A and B are shown apart, each in its own frame.
Chain A
Amino acid sequence: MDAIYYDGQTARLRRVSLTLEADRFIVSGDGVDRQDPVGAVQIMEAIGRTPRVVRFVGGASCEIHDRDAFATLLQAHGVAQSAISVLDRSWRIVGAAVLFIALVAAGGYRYGLPAVARTTADRLPRGTLNSLSEQIATVLDKTVFQPTGLPVERQRAITAEFDALRLMGGAAPSLRVAFRRSDGIGANALTLPSGMIFVTDDLVTVLKDDRQIMAVLAHEAGHAQHRHGMRQIIQSTVMGALVAWYIGDVSGLSAAAPTSLLQAKYSRDLEREADAYAAQTLLLNGMPVSVLIDALRGLEEARGGRGRGGALAYMSSHPATEERIAWLRGYGK
């Protein structure tokens, strides 16, 4: 059969004829005449419809364009084919591969990554959480936070009330409450991996009943107990790297949108977990779950928003308030 021969010494292209006789490759024509035992020749595996390549000892090689004829020739002489090159020729196997990858991706997203993030976050030393949180707190104080305008007595009263709260679990990092004013995030509270809970002035003024403030703080304590902050950092790092790698992104830009969409679900799951923790805490301290529901209502009104739902709910980092309330109503029944 026809082949192209390169001697490995010069860039000269020679048209030769390649045959397989007994257990020898014979290359002849255009000044070439060589015989090599089959065992000494490297028959490169077929990849897609690329030409077949045969490499000889000493750097010479042949390129064969008639793939089918070459395969027949090898088969006739009982030379084994690579198993993997057979895989990508079968559409059935390709279909199975697509299905397998989809299953692994869905399973990894639903169960795998959250489990890995939880295990990793639970094992990180306290010192790591603290130094990371200090960095985040510095950034927050420079960007979204201003010093609090709440009277010191009010701050002390809330802190004392929170300290008196009986909390679930016990594996809590050192929980601390700090007050900040923020025009950017309004009535809100957020928790750092170290257990530092930031409460905004607006939240304290909007929620008239102190029990509601305790309900929100219990929700935040839930984030801290389950190390949600750390879990989110791990999940977003892994997710970002995977999405960028999979899309084969040029600039890292286009990976940002799918990543944040995928992240939103994790974030909502964590909010539900924190809600559950808050509900348990309330019951433990002799308060009804409805206190948290009232707090959510109050915050929702303060934001002036109608309850988000429908398609936008998937893009939201918190579940829609109505959905959370419905879930909490069902809690403990």
Chain B
Amino acid sequence: MHDSARGGRRLIRFARMDEPVVPAVDPLPEVPVEPSAPASQPEPPPEPSLHKMVFTGTGSEYFRVWIVNLALTILTLGVYSAWAKVRRLQYFYRHTRLAGSGFDYHGEPFAILKGRMVGLVLFGLYSAISYVRFGTAMTILLVLALAVPWLLSRSLMFRLHNSSWRGIRFHFGGRTRSAYWVFLVLPFLTVLSLFLAGPFWHHRMKRFQFANAAYGQTPFEFHTEAGEFYITYVAAGAAAVAFGILLIIGLVGITTVSLLSGTGEPSHGPPQVPAGFFLLMFAGYVTAAVVVQSITAARLHNAVWSRTRLQGHGFICEVSWWRLFGIQWTNLVATILTLGLFRPFAQVRLSRYLASAFALVTAGSLDTLIAADAAAVSAIGEEAAGFFDLDIGF
């Protein structure tokens, strides 16, 4: 968190993170107005400054938090998982620092536990679909289709309401009607369009998520256009096709070589396929999936954040898909090879990189951003959605 003076690109002055950027009028009466600033003099135009985000956690540190969480979750037959989640999020939030301050998480374990139980019931219903009569299965699907959009919007509400930075909570004000449009009607239309509307649907989900979010009373403004999503999907699709061609060439090569080099001994059955064939096929498949996922995630993350505004303040987000791919791929391989023990290190590596690619550009003081009155939001939504893996965040 002391490295804000690194690199001077863009015409933006790097502020020291711990100093208030521009002296500003403070709305609170108990704070004395600076005597050197006469009220009659007009304010100078605010100078933009850049605040880089940093993640200060380390893998070995998080490993211990993670393993203790896991052991206690097993010991309590899963009940502790709600407390574990709070500790995990608080660990990641508090280590994520922006302009000298950490984020914080305020979720209540009991609310999360309640949500997990609802999620478990819904998951049970979902799993039962293949084992029941057609009519019953359709009823279950209908119930889920009606429940999920509501749960998703509640989940966004719960998550943002329980996140804070500098003592001010975020807020989500998406309306239930919009949630049904985005999570029920649009996916249906997307299927009807033979998935041509897929990127458009994704754009609407992001818009629902961002345009309804606020930091305290200050709303986020979402300006990214659907075209960006189409470009990203085309790029990812092209990468997938290129990978497929490379893989086929590789496989044909391997098979040819192994057949040619085989001994002349006649065998009764079909020719033996070399084990390397399957290994290469699997590795290629996974690599291609990670490439496509990295391109999509990096491009969309940048496209959305770089054009998001918060009362004149902006964001710079420069995630390189290539570096994201490197991190995700090595994380995956190391996690499998260590039977999962590398997972906490993997999560820290990813957080470090994503934070380092993110910056807040302030125009004027942040002190004018003020808190809102927040209503309590039930945790049911977030937990149930997590169970279904319908989470729309990146």
Which A residues have a C-beta under 8 Å from some C-beta of B? Answer: 4, 6-13, 15, 31, 44, 47-51, 53, 59-61, 63, 84, 87-89, 91, 93-94, 96-98, 100-101, 104, 128, 131-132, 135, 237, 246-248, 250-251, 253-254, 257-258, 301, 303-305, 312
Stretch at the interface among B86-94, B140-148, B176-184, B195-203: B86-94
Chain A residues whose C-beta falls within 8 Å of the C-beta of B95 in the assembled complex: 48, 50
Whose C-beta in chain A lies nearest to the C-beta of B20? A13
Stretch at the interface among B4-12, B113-121, B163-171, B224-232: B163-171
Which of A59, A128, A303 is the one whose CB lies under 8 Å from B131? A128
Q: Which of A59, A97, A132 has the most CB of B within 10 A?
A: A97
Chain B residues whose C-beta falls within 8 Å of the C-beta of A11 in the assembled complex: 165-168, 215-216, 366-370
Other than the known A253-B286, A304-B270, what 12 A-B pairs have Cβ atoms closer than 8 Å? A11-B165, A48-B65, A49-B58, A50-B95, A59-B167, A63-B101, A97-B67, A97-B68, A101-B67, A131-B131, A131-B132, A250-B328
| Shortest distance between the CB of B158 and any CB in chain A (Å) | 18
Once the chains are docked, how many angstroms separate the CA of A322 from the CA of B370? 76
Whose C-beta in chain B lies nearest to the C-beta of A63? B102
Q: List 15 A-B contacts (CB under 8 A).
A: A10-B28, A10-B168, A10-B371, A11-B168, A12-B366, A15-B18, A50-B90, A94-B67, A97-B67, A100-B71, A100-B74, A247-B335, A248-B335, A248-B346, A304-B267
Chain A residues whose C-beta falls within 8 Å of the C-beta of B282 in the assembled complex: 257
| Contact yes or no, B335 A94, CB < 8 A | no
Once the chains are docked, how many angstroms separate the CA of A51 from the CA of B166? 13
| Shortest distance between the CB of B278 and any CB in chain A (Å) | 9
Chain B residues whose C-beta falls within 8 Å of the C-beta of A13 in the assembled complex: 18, 20, 99-101, 166
Once the chains are docked, how many angstroms separate the CA of A132 from the CA of B129? 11
B173 interface contact, C-beta 8 A: no
| Shortest distance between the CB of B336 and any CB in chain A (Å) | 6
Are A10 and B131 also in contact (CB < 8 A) when A48-B64, A50-B90 are?
no
Chain A residues whose C-beta falls within 8 Å of the C-beta of B132 in the assembled complex: 128, 131
| Contact yes or no, A44 B28, CB < 8 A | no
Whose C-beta in chain B lies nearest to the C-beta of A86? B68
| Contact yes or no, B87 A47, CB < 8 A | yes
| Shortest distance between the CB of B190 and any CB in chain A (Å) | 19
| Shortest distance between the CB of A141 and any CB in chain B (Å) | 18
Once the chains are docked, how many angstroms separate the CA of A128 from the CA of B129? 11
Once the chains are docked, how many angstroms separate the CA of A247 from the CA of B336? 7
Whose C-beta in chain A lies nearest to the C-beta of B335? A247
| Contact yes or no, B131 A84, CB < 8 A | no
Once the chains are docked, how many angstroms separate the CA of A129 from the CA of B141? 21
Once the chains are docked, how many angstroms separate the CA of A100 from the CA of B367? 49
Chain B 62-102, CB-CB to A under 8 Å as 1, else 0, gives 11110110111011000000010001001100110001111
| Contact yes or no, A97 B70, CB < 8 A | yes
Whose C-beta in chain B lies nearest to the C-beta of A62? B167
Once the chains are docked, how many angstroms separate the CA of A251 from the CA of B328? 12
Once the chains are docked, how many angstroms separate the CA of A9 from the CA of B165? 12
Which of B64, B100, B293, B328 is the one whose CB lies under 8 Å from A94? B64
B290 interface contact, C-beta 8 A: yes
| Contact yes or no, B26 A12, CB < 8 A | yes
B393 interface contact, C-beta 8 A: no
| Contact yes or no, B65 A88, CB < 8 A | yes
| Contact yes or no, B62 A48, CB < 8 A | yes
Are A312 and B166 also in contact (CB < 8 A) when A50-B94, A97-B67 are?
no
| Shortest distance between the CB of A301 and any CB in chain B (Å) | 8
| Shortest distance between the CB of B357 and any CB in chain A (Å) | 18
Chain B residues whose C-beta falls within 8 Å of the C-beta of A246 in the assembled complex: 340, 343
Which of B64, B269, B332, B347 is the one whose CB lies under 8 Å from A305? B269
| Contact yes or no, A47 B71, CB < 8 A | no
| Contact yes or no, B371 A8, CB < 8 A | yes
B42 interface contact, C-beta 8 A: no
B36 interface contact, C-beta 8 A: no
| Contact yes or no, B91 A9, CB < 8 A | no
| Contact yes or no, A31 B100, CB < 8 A | no
Which of A31, A48, A51, A97 is the one whose CB lies under 8 Å from B61? A48
Chain B residues whose C-beta falls within 8 Å of the C-beta of A6 in the assembled complex: 101, 166-168
B240 interface contact, C-beta 8 A: no
| Contact yes or no, B28 A47, CB < 8 A | no
Once the chains are docked, how many angstroms separate the CA of A96 from the CA of B65? 13
B130 interface contact, C-beta 8 A: yes
| Shortest distance between the CB of A5 and any CB in chain B (Å) | 8
| Contact yes or no, A237 B127, CB < 8 A | yes
Once the chains are docked, how many angstroms separate the CA of A285 from the CA of B343? 55
Are A60 and B167 also in contact (CB < 8 A) when A7-B28, A9-B370, A48-B65 are?
yes
Q: Would you list which residues of chain B between 339 and 373 have a CB under 8 Å from chain A?
A: 340-341, 343, 346-347, 366-371
Whose C-beta in chain A lies nearest to the C-beta of B168? A11
Once the chains are docked, how many angstroms separate the CA of A170 from the CA of B31? 86
Whose C-beta in chain A lies nearest to the C-beta of B166? A11
Once the chains are docked, how many angstroms separate the CA of A44 from the CA of B367? 25
Once the chains are docked, how many angstroms separate the CA of A101 from the CA of B341? 11
B321 interface contact, C-beta 8 A: no
Are A94 and B68 also in contact (CB < 8 A) when A59-B371, A248-B343, A253-B285 are?
yes
| Contact yes or no, B70 A303, CB < 8 A | no
Chain A residues whose C-beta falls within 8 Å of the C-beta of B100 in the assembled complex: 4, 13
Chain B residues whose C-beta falls within 8 Å of the C-beta of A98 in the assembled complex: 67, 341
Chain B residues whose C-beta falls within 8 Å of the C-beta of A251 in the assembled complex: 289, 293
| Contact yes or no, B90 A44, CB < 8 A | yes
Once the chains are docked, how many angstroms separate the CA of A316 from the CA of B376? 54
Once the chains are docked, how many angstroms separate the CA of A312 from the CA of B275? 9
Whose C-beta in chain B lies nearest to the C-beta of A124? B131
Question: Which 8 pairs of residues, A with B, have the shortest CB-CB distance?
Answer: A304-B269, A6-B167, A304-B268, A50-B94, A97-B71, A12-B367, A88-B64, A11-B369
